[in-house]
């Protein structure tokens, strides 16, 4: 019984592997990676890899899609949610906007109409730029 308990160190290792697997899958953008590729990159057995992937799927971070790869059925792992990108937040126009103190939902100055004076550098422009940068094509 004691031998089946996970030590704190082991839990940390599994968490680090889960984070690494998630990073790999997110790095594939919307294309996804086959589970075999992820297991191979992490040096995991199919049993351990499968457990890891199941955990990510249960957390709603990825989804699995059944595909044929090299004539064999496998699962493609596709990201569902993406981590926040700090670099992106650093460039949000609101941080340097002269209208920011008055800007609020329902106000005369608001994020929906984001004043025309900010042409090309309004909130909608920033959202579109960041979306394109994150998901090219
Ligand atoms: S939403 Fe537009 S107007 Fe409001 S603070 Fe941000 S950039 Fe300024």
Which residue has better confidence, 2 or 18? 18
Q: Which atom of ligand 1 is nearest to the CA of 97?
A: 8
121 CB within 6 A, ligand 1: no
97 CB within 6 A, ligand 1: yes
C-alpha to C-alpha distances, 61 to 18, 21, 46, 89, 133, nearest whole angstrom: 11, 11, 20, 21, 21
Tens digits of residue pLDDT in 24-34: 999 887 788 99
Integer Cα distance of 25 and 76 in angstroms? 10
Q: What is the pLDDT of residue 2?
A: 42
CB 62 within 8 A of CB 80: yes
- Set out the domains of the chain in order of their start, with CATH numbers: 2-79 (1.10.10.10), 86-134 (no CATH)
Q: Is 104 helix (H, G, I), strand (E, B) or coil?
A: coil
Closest CA to 93 of 65, 71, 114, 66: 114
The continuous run of DSSP H or E covering 54 comes out as helix 46-58
Distance 133 CA to ligand 1 centre (A): 21
Distance 104 CA to ligand 1 centre (A): 9
CB 64 within 8 A of CB 57: yes
pLDDT confidence bin for 89, thresholds 50/70/90:
confident
Atom 2 (ligand 1): residue with closest C-alpha?
114
Distance of CA 35 to the CA centre of its chain: 17
**In the chain, what is the straight-line distance between the N-terminal and C-terminal CA atoms, in Å?**
53
Distance 135 CA to ligand 1 centre (A): 24
Mention every residue, 6+ apart, whose C-beta is less than 8 A from residue 90.
none
Q: What is the pLDDT of residue 128?
A: 87
**pTM of full prediction above 0.85:** no
79 CB within 6 A, ligand 1: no
């Amino acid at each position: 019984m004691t031998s089946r308990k996970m030590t704190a160190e082991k839990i940390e290792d599994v968490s680090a592997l889960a984070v690494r697997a998630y990073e790999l899958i997110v790095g594939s953008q919307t294309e996804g990676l086959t589970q075999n590729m992820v297991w191979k990159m992490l040096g995991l057995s199919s049993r351990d890899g499968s457990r890891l992937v199941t955990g990510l799927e249960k957390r709603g971070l990825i989804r699995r899609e059944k595909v044929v790869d090299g004539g064999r059925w496998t699962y493609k792992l596709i990201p569902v949610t993406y981590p926040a990108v700090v670099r992106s937040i650093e460039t949000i126009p609101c941080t340097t906007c002269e209208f920011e103190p008055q800007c609020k939902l329902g106000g005369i100055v608001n994020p929906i109409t984001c004043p025309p004076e900010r042409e090309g550098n309004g909130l909608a422009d920033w959202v579109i730029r960041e979306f394109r940068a994150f998901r090219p094509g």
